[in-house]
A and B are shown apart, each in its own frame.
Chain A
Amino acid sequence: MRIGLLTEGGYPYVSGDTRLWCDRLVRGLGQHEFHVYALSRSERQEDEGWVPLPRQVNRVRTAPLWGPGHASRAYGRRARRRFAEHYAELAAVLCAAPERADAGPDGVGAGAGRAGVALDGRHVGAGRAGGRQERVGEHGRGGSTSHEADRFANALYGLAELARDEGGLSGALRSDSAVRALERACRAPSALREARTAHVPELLAVATHIERALRPLSLDWHEDDGLGAVDLCHATSGGTAALPGLLAERFLGIPLLITEYGVHLRTHHLAHAGAAPAVRALLAAFQGRLAAELYRRAALVTHANAHARGWQERGGADRARLRTVHPGLDASRFAEVGDRADGGDPATLVWVGRVEPTKDLVSLLHAFAEVRKEEPKARLRIVGAPAGPEGEAYLGHCRALAAQLFPDEADGAHCVGDNPVSFEEVGGPDLPTVAEAYAAGAVTVLSSVVEGFPLGLIEAMLCGRATVSTDVGAVVEAIGGTGLVVPPRNPRALAEACVALLRDPERRARLGAAARARALELFTVEQNITAFHGIYLEIVAHSPVRRVVLGRTGAPLPFAAPAEGHVPGHWAGPAGRVVARGGPRGGAVTPSWAQTTSLATTEATR
Chain B
Amino acid sequence: MTDLGDLDRPDASGAGRDGLRHRGAPTAPPPGRPTPAGTPTAGTPTAGTPAAVGTSTVAGTPVTAGADRLTAAGHGSRTGTRTGTLTGTRTGTRVDSRVGVASPAVPGEGPAAHRRRGAADPVKTLMHRHRDLCERAVDPLEIAAGLEAHGLTDRTAARFRHRDVFSLAEEIYARVPRDTEPPLRPAGNPADSPPPALRAHVARVLLTLLPGLLCAATVGAVRLTHGQPHLAAALAGALAVTAAAHAALGSGPLGTPPGAAAHPSRLATPVWTYWLLGYALLGDALLAAVLRHSPGTPDAGAVQGVWSLATAPVLALTLALAPATWCAHLFTGRAARRLEASRGLAEFTAGVRPLLLGTFALFLSALAALLAGCAAVLGEPAPYAQTLALGALLLPARLLVVHGRARAAGAALGAAVLAEAAALALPLSGRLPGCAFLATPVESLVDSGGPGIVPVLACGAAALSLLIHATRALATASAHARPVKSP
Contact = CB atoms under 8 A, between A and B. Distances in A.
Interface of A: 41-43, 65-71, 74, 103-105, 107-108, 110, 114-115, 117-119, 121-122, 124-125, 174-176, 178-180, 183, 187, 192-194, 197, 199-205, 207-209, 212, 265-266, 269-271, 273-277, 280-281, 284, 288, 307, 310, 314, 357-358, 360, 362, 366, 369-370, 373-374, 390, 393-394, 397, 400-401, 404-405, 449-450, 471-473, 476, 479-493, 495-497, 499-500, 503-504, 507, 510-511, 514
Given A41-B487, A480-B54, A507-B53, A118 B171 contact: yes
A481 B54 contact: yes
Contacts of B263: 71
Given A450-B150, A471-B63, 15 more contacts: A41-B486, A105-B175, A121-B171, A124-B170, A200-B343, A203-B345, A266-B148, A273-B146, A277-B185, A357-B79, A472-B151, A472-B153, A482-B53, A484-B40, A497-B57
B91 A110 contact: no
Given A67-B259, A489-B75, A496 B404 contact: no
B449 interface: no
Given A42-B486, A68-B261, A288 B182 contact: no
A43 B259 contact: yes
B185 A276 contact: yes
Contacts of A484: 40, 57-58, 61
Between B36, B75, B166, the greatest number of chain A beta carbons within 10 A of the residue's beta carbon is seen for B36
Between B50, B54, B259, the greatest number of chain A beta carbons within 10 A of the residue's beta carbon is seen for B54
Given A71-B263, A197-B184, A280-B142, A497 B340 contact: no
Given A194-B138, A489-B76, A107 B175 contact: yes
B477 A204 contact: yes
A581 B136 CA distance: 57
Given A194-B182, A497-B57, A288 B141 contact: yes
B261 A284 contact: no
Contact of A481 (B27, B58, B480): B58
A280 B138 contact: yes
A102 to B, nearest CB: 10
A69 B407 CA distance: 16
Given A68-B260, A110-B120, A314-B141, A450 B478 contact: no
B186 A274 contact: yes
Contacts of B171: 107, 114, 117-118, 121
B18 to A, nearest CB: 13
Contacts of A202: 185
Contact of B145 (A183, A269, A449): A269
Contacts of A504: 39
Contacts of A507: 53
B61 A487 contact: yes
Given A212-B484, A450-B149, A514-B54, A273 B163 contact: no
Nearest to B479: A176
Given A274-B186, A401-B95, A489-B78, A121 B170 contact: yes
Nearest to A279: B185
A269 B141 contact: yes
Given A202-B185, A208-B484, A68 B404 contact: yes
B161 interface: yes
Interface string B76-90: 101100110010100
Interface in B22-71: 25, 27, 29, 36-37, 39-41, 50, 53-55, 57-58, 61-63, 68-69, 71
Given A121-B171, A276-B186, A487 B63 contact: yes
Contacts of B301: none
A122 B166 contact: yes
Interface in B142-186: 142, 144-146, 148-151, 153-155, 161-168, 170-171, 173-175, 177-178, 181-186
Interface residues of B, number: 101
A500 B41 CA distance: 8
A503 B39 contact: yes
B25 to A, nearest CB: 7
B145 A176 contact: no
Contact of A493 (B53, B62, B183): B62
A175 B478 contact: yes
A64 B40 CA distance: 55
Contacts of A288: 139, 141
A347 to B, nearest CB: 16
B300 interface: no
In the A-B complex, the 9 residue pairs with the smallest Cβ-Cβ separation, listed nearest first, are A481-B54, A121-B170, A500-B39, A357-B83, A276-B185, A71-B261, A176-B476, A269-B145, A42-B486
Contact of A275 (B186, B259, B344): B186
B98 interface: yes
Contacts of B487: 41-42, 271
Given A374-B36, A486-B61, A269 B345 contact: no
B200 interface: no
B348 interface: yes
B482 A204 contact: yes
Contacts of A205: 484
Interface in B370-426: 404, 407
Nearest to A186: B344
B443 to A, nearest CB: 39
A366 B98 CA distance: 8
A489 B39 CA distance: 18
Contacts of A108: 175
A183 B345 contact: yes
B211 interface: no
B339 interface: yes
B164 A310 contact: yes
Contacts of B39: 496-497, 499-500, 503-504
B483 interface: yes
Contacts of A114: 123, 161, 171
B142 A269 contact: yes
A500 B260 CA distance: 64
A68 B259 CA distance: 7
Contact of B72 (A187, A209, A481, A487): A487
A69 B142 contact: no
B262 interface: yes
Contacts of A473: 153
Contact of A71 (B173, B183, B262, B476): B262
B170 A118 contact: yes
A489 B72 contact: yes
B224 interface: no
A473 B263 CA distance: 50
Contact of A208 (B68, B163, B481): B481
B225 interface: no
Between A71, A394, A483, A504, the greatest number of chain B beta carbons within 10 A of the residue's beta carbon is seen for A71
Contact of A358 (B83, B167, B182): B83
Given A193-B182, A511-B53, A117 B141 contact: no
Contacts of B78: 449, 489
Contacts of A514: 53-54
A19 B486 CA distance: 19
A212 B123 CA distance: 38
B86 A284 contact: no
Between B121, B184, B481, the greatest number of chain A beta carbons within 10 A of the residue's beta carbon is seen for B481
B54 A483 contact: yes
9 contacts: A114-B171, A121-B140, A197-B181, A276-B186, A288-B139, A307-B154, A310-B154, A366-B25, A487-B69
Contacts of A493: 40, 61-62, 68
Contacts of B16: none
A515 B384 CA distance: 89
A240 to B, nearest CB: 11
Contacts of B136: 273, 277
Nearest to B86: A397
Contacts of A66: 259, 486
Given A65-B486, A277-B136, A176 B170 contact: no
